[in-house]
Amino acid sequence: MNTNQMEQLAIRGGEKTVKATFPWPIYDETEVEAVANVVRSGQWGNPDCADLVARFEEQFAAYCGSKYAITCVNGSVSLRMALMACGLRPGDEVIVPPYTFIATASVVLEINCVPVFVDIDPQTYNLDPSKIEAAITSRTKAIVPVHFAGLACDMDAILDIARRYNLRVIEDAAHAHGAEYNGRKLGTFGDAGSFSFQSSKNLTSGEGGIVITDSDELYETINSLRNVGRLPHGQWYDHFNPGCNYRITQLQAVLLSEQLKRLDEQTRVRDENGLYLNSLLATIAGVVPLSRGDVAMRHCYHLYIFKYDKAAFANLPRKTFVEMLSAEGVPCSAGYPHPLYKQPVFQQKNFMCYAIPDSVDYTQVSCPEAERACAHEAVWIFQHAMLGTKADIESFAQAIRKIQLAVARE
Ligand SMILES: *Cc1c(COP(=O)(O)O)cnc(C)c1O
């Protein structure tokens, strides 16, 4: 191959920089056998049998260092049940970040409460604690910090505010399985922590979710909510709470038990690769990784995010940069096109049956940091690519450098 072919961008027919592909999910015959055994047993789920579900819940609680874990159908329902169990009333306000998946805010609507958007810290893309207090009113009852991309929120600052204003804290840890802050697993800092097991997440069974908590009271309520409002020692047709059937199957549970055995090593690899990629990007102008701060942490890189500055790329728009980087073989995207409050559901107040006060108006909301991240700054590399080798990680940096040189020549 001559130099020209090497310099030619893959999007224009040149050679791809990244040779590897990155499978996800990762499994072998162990998972296949585990699921097959459940199939053969005929013990697929309630009411006959839920011992394997209970076993996974114990395993996940032990892994996180929490007292209880309650599985459910997905990471939206887990978050909603955790909020419901906190005793929020219609019209109560819940502080959420605008740079996250829609579920973080839509589950607040679903319990007839009002999502209040507080901007992100431009260094981390997580909820900015210095902006929280200004958003607190007499109706504020809870904060939902999202450990976005698997990077821990500033929990010391958030818990301090929560204590002073008597607010509940429910961590949305949908990106954060196995990640740590000051040596402790994320999801264990607030009243409860919520995780998703949807296919893209760092621990998956295709779909699924879980809540972890140390609170006996929250555990009992959430356990009842996910099981049609039943109580553990009540009758099958006795319903005490307004829950639905949010249970998972034994097939999912055994898959999760096997996948959990892989999680810690996968998290170690992603964290190490993330630190390595940080060091490589430090030598390239116009690409700045999000900050890990000064606190000891274990980042699980559900996403590896860096800030793109087109000025260092001959004013190449981020959209084109991401197309070029994808063509070079880096699994990446530009992420969310808008902060959540710009979504039609909020702008047009399509609240359907939900009892959101008329005075709520999302057209007036402005979170400039989240808007900039969405409009032209953020670039996401997906978690499965962060499981590659050192050489693969080097090829990501090479691909960025190749684009930079190519656009500078034009
Ligand atoms: C995926 C996700 C959820 C919801 O999880 P589902 O299992 O898809 O319902 C909630 N919050 C965040 C930040 C997520 O990324």
Q: Tell me the per-residue pLDDT of 277-312, one tens digit each, with 9 for 90 and over.
A: 999 999 999 999 999 988 999 999 999 999 999 999
- How large is the average pLDDT for residues 102-114? 98
Q: CA 47 to CA 142: how far, in whole Å?
A: 35
Backbone angles phi, psi at 256, to 5 degrees: -65, -40
Catalytic residue among 233, 237, 294, 409: 237
For CATH 3.40.640.10, list the domain ranges present in the chain.
29-260
pLDDT of residue 46: 83
Task: Look at residue 4 and tell me whether its pLDDT is greater than 80.
Answer: no
- CA dist 112 and 339 (Å) reads 21
Instruction: Classify domain 3-19+262-336+371-409 at the CATH topology level.
Output: Aspartate Aminotransferase, domain 1 (3.90.1150)
Give residue 6's pLDDT band: very low, low, confident or very high (50, 70, 90): low
* Residue 305 backbone phi and psi in degrees, to 5: -110, 135
Cα separation, 22 vs 24, whole angstroms: 7
Q: In 200-249, which ranges are E strands?
A: 209-213
**Domain 29-260 CATH (choose: 3.40.640.10, 3.40.50.1970, 3.90.1210.10, 3.10.20.30):** 3.40.640.10
Ligand 1 contact via 146 beta carbon (within 6 Å): yes
Confidence of residue 245 (pLDDT cuts 50, 70, 90): very high
- The alpha carbon of 175 and the centre of ligand 1 are apart by a number of angstroms equal to 8
Q: Active site includes 80?
A: no
| Confidence label for 84 from pLDDT (cuts 50, 70 and 90) | very high
**Each residue of 143-185: pLDDT tens digit?**
999 999 999 999 999 999 999 999 999 999 999 999 999 999 9
Return d(Cα 231, Cα 213) in angstroms, integer: 18
As annotated, the residues of the chain forming the CATH 3.90.1150.10 domain(s) are 3-19+262-336+371-409
Active-site option among 128, 198, 336, 382: 198
Average pLDDT, the chain: 97
Angle at 296 between CA 191 and CA 177, to 5 degrees: 50
* Residue 252 is a catalytic residue: no
Helices (H), 282-355: 318-327, 344-347
pTM above the 0.95 mark? yes
CB 380 within 8 A of CB 332: yes
- Using the Cα atoms of residue 377, residue 381, residue 383 and residue 389 in order, give the sign of their dihedral: negative
Angle at the Cα of 332 from the Cα atoms of 398 and 297, rounded to 5 degrees: 85
Beta strands in 226-382 (DSSP E): 287-289, 297-298, 303-308, 332-333, 378-382
> E strand or H helix at 59, and its extent?
helix 51-64
Q: Check if 172 has its Cβ closer than 6 Å to any atom of ligand 1.
A: yes
pLDDT at 1 exceeding the cut of 60 = no
pLDDT tier at 49, thresholds 50, 70, 90:
confident
**DSSP three-state, residue 291:** coil
